[in-house]
Structure 1
């Protein structure tokens, strides 16, 4: 029933950032979530901040997750898991939508490339939001999802601008000329942020429900813990291929933000380990990932990520189809243990109208 405060990687320390205001970020990145998850697990094993030596070694260090492996975060609304919209849908909410497909070769600063084009002439912009599992499976099949399968962010949470002021800890009085602003989010009822956690020792038995501080200002969140049956129990299905040609045309879409060592190369040619040849791509704006290092009491170093929804268009030989299918749901790039870089495999058709 309360608001939550998550932000992007814009500096938020006193004297940093200048006139650039930190923006709210929702759903939150994996960093505050992994911190909350590990803190809850550690408390269940007897750890407390005043007893740092009781920290379980299975939960790693400030720089690694130990035995844990995470997937997500995703949203769950009305009991159904949601996925970010791949950056191949164009149009207006409630109006006709179309897809992006590779266009004809053009000459640009990258040489000869096939830039994405609209399959049909419609007005609007790149669609940003969330899809149900059925909606994402439609997009992976090369189709346009139904209106009921698309959810706008405004339907699931609202942003609220807040103004605060610095308070002197000793005098408990406000300090003059020390205003700051922050963007909080107020989730609607039945909206959850969900993370799959693997690697918890079988004899730990974490609590089925608990409350814990999450995000900035220590706002409290209600947490439920449930067991899943299998890694792919909730994962979208890959499209079926009825391959009659020598060429396989497929897409690679980021379901979670990806961190890559050579981002420029990945933007142009796709993540490493993908068979075939990348012929086009639809890439969103880079996002920054920060966070707070609780042990060292300082901000984490900000890194740049490719956002969820980025999609690459590929062509490969039919002999590589089994290898392509094996990539569905796997991870690319770095920090895979944190759930970054998870991909879904789809299909596209040349000359789609």
Structure 2
């Protein structure tokens, strides 16, 4: 796998799969999904090597995309600059008394006697951790950064306390969306079509500036990998064929030395999805039995796990263009990045199986995995019951 940094030269216009509307809005500014980046990388790889755009390109594995926060002062990029989506088991709460914003962790917990819900048998609900400690916050949920530093996510999964200020400083809050108004041109007369206006919303790849800082101090690049060479310096990404610079890099997270032993000792782990994931049965992977919630992850050979809990946001639409067949793809329902699943290990686990969980892809469909969907970060988790 060879890794590349993609730096858009203009705000990115990424379609959501919804019917196209004449009037756009800020919610339409979105980070490119894996299939968009996979198509762009395979296209530029084919142009670099003289290959034709056919179904053979689909066999090239692509991983990512993640984001990278690039300081404008020229500092060398390290793992601390890698950005990942906010995990779904975290909420931002503002304390009404102190006016401070806190991170509230949700975790699987057993029902109290007499309580229950309609979750599948054996699946635990998630409760806010502060409800059962002395750190209960009298406040309400507020918005915050949707992108975290990779290092902050790793620390959070180890149980570390992270401040909201730290998340804001190390993470990414995109600048205001770039909304442009366009007109339709008659192909024959080359005149403006009366009354035909439409808008596009672009994602600005900059860090949102603060009140006391007139200019942003960082831009954001896209980090992805492909099993192939890329020699050309520019590619087209997203709608309107907007240009982006592409350059090789070695920036990719490496597996921690203590991860394997930590998961084996805890007899459980979480999977936090860093890219959207596609399952055939909605929220439930096909590699788990729907009755017992047990199975073997696709990256493993003998690891037997049981799903204990899950945290995920509402599904989002996904579509695209098939370069090989030259037609639009069917729309799909994606589980957004940040979704977190809790698994308990049944029986023994080998070091090789645990190691194979590191930044693997966990979609049901092999092609979705090759396209970069379902990239997940594993972390040790010990169940109390």
* TM-score, L = length of structure 1: 0.78
Partner of 2:17: 9
Task: Indicate which of 319, 322, 329 corresponds to 2:359.
Answer: 329
Q: Does residue 43 of the first structure (1) align with residue 52 of the second (2)?
A: no
Partner of 2:124: 114
- Aligned residue for 2:44, secondary structure, equals helix
Task: Indicate which of 28, 38, 62 corresponds to 1:34.
Answer: 38
Structure 2, unmatched stretches of 5+, are 1-8, 71-76, 95-99, 131-135, 207-217, 298-302
Mapped to 1, the partners of 2:255 and 2:339 lie a distance apart of 17
Mapped to 1, the partners of 2:85 and 2:285 lie a distance apart of 20
Mapped to 2, the partners of 1:290 and 1:244 lie a distance apart of 39
1:1-353 matches, cutoff 5 A: 2-12=10-20, 24-46=28-50, 55-56=51-52, 60-61=54-55, 65-78=57-70, 79=77, 80-92=81-93, 95-105=101-111, 106-110=115-119, 113-120=123-130, 121-122=136-137, 123-124=140-141, 129-146=146-163, 147-150=165-168, 151-154=170-173, 156-188=174-206, 189-198=218-227, 200=228, 206-207=230-231, 210-226=233-249, 228=250, 233-235=252-254, 237=256, 239=259, 241=261, 248-266=267-285, 269=293, 273=297, 275-294=304-323, 296-317=325-346, 319-320=348-349, 322=351, 323-333=353-363, 334=365, 335-350=368-383
- Aligned residue for 1:31, secondary structure, equals helix
Moved more, 18-27 or 298-307: 18-27
* TM-score, L = length of structure 2: 0.72
- Per the TM alignment, residue 165 of structure 1 is displaced from its structure 2 partner at its CA by 2.5
Q: How many residues align?
A: 324
Contact 1:243–1:318 (CA under 8 A) maintained in structure 2:
no
Partner of 2:212: none
Partner of 1:49: none
Structure 1, unmatched stretches of 5+, are 47-54
Mapped to 1, the partners of 2:116 and 2:200 lie a distance apart of 44
Query: Once superposed, what is the RMSD of the aligned Cα atoms?
Result: 3.4
CA deviations 1:57-106 (Å, max 9, x no partner) are xx642xx6344211100101123221222212222487221211112234
Mapped to 2, the partners of 1:149 and 1:321 lie a distance apart of 35
Mapped to 2, the partners of 1:170 and 1:135 lie a distance apart of 56
Contact 2:283–2:335 (CA under 8 A) maintained in structure 1:
no
Mapped to 2, the partners of 1:72 and 1:10 lie a distance apart of 23
Mapped to 2, the partners of 1:252 and 1:243 lie a distance apart of 12
Q: Residues 342 and 349 from structure 1, CA distance in 2 versus in 1: closer, same or farther, beyond 3 angstroms?
A: same
Contact 1:7–1:23 (CA under 8 A) maintained in structure 2:
no
- Per the TM alignment, residue 195 of structure 1 is displaced from its structure 2 partner at its CA by 0.9
Contact 1:8–1:23 (CA under 8 A) maintained in structure 2:
no
- Structure with higher RCO (Cα < 8 A, 6+ apart): 2
- Aligned residue for 2:285, secondary structure, equals helix
Mapped to 1, the partners of 2:295 and 2:219 lie a distance apart of 35
CA deviations 1:282-334 (Å, max 9, x no partner) are 11111221112345554221111111111112223473374445422222122
- Per the TM alignment, residue 191 of structure 1 is displaced from its structure 2 partner at its CA by 1.3
Q: Residues 308 and 321 from structure 1, CA distance in 2 versus in 1: closer, same or farther, beyond 3 angstroms?
A: farther
Q: Residues 275 and 74 from structure 1, CA distance in 2 versus in 1: closer, same or farther, beyond 3 angstroms?
A: same
- Per the TM alignment, residue 118 of structure 1 is displaced from its structure 2 partner at its CA by 0.8
Contact 1:89–1:126 (CA under 8 A) maintained in structure 2:
no
Partner of 1:51: none
Mapped to 2, the partners of 1:342 and 1:271 lie a distance apart of 18
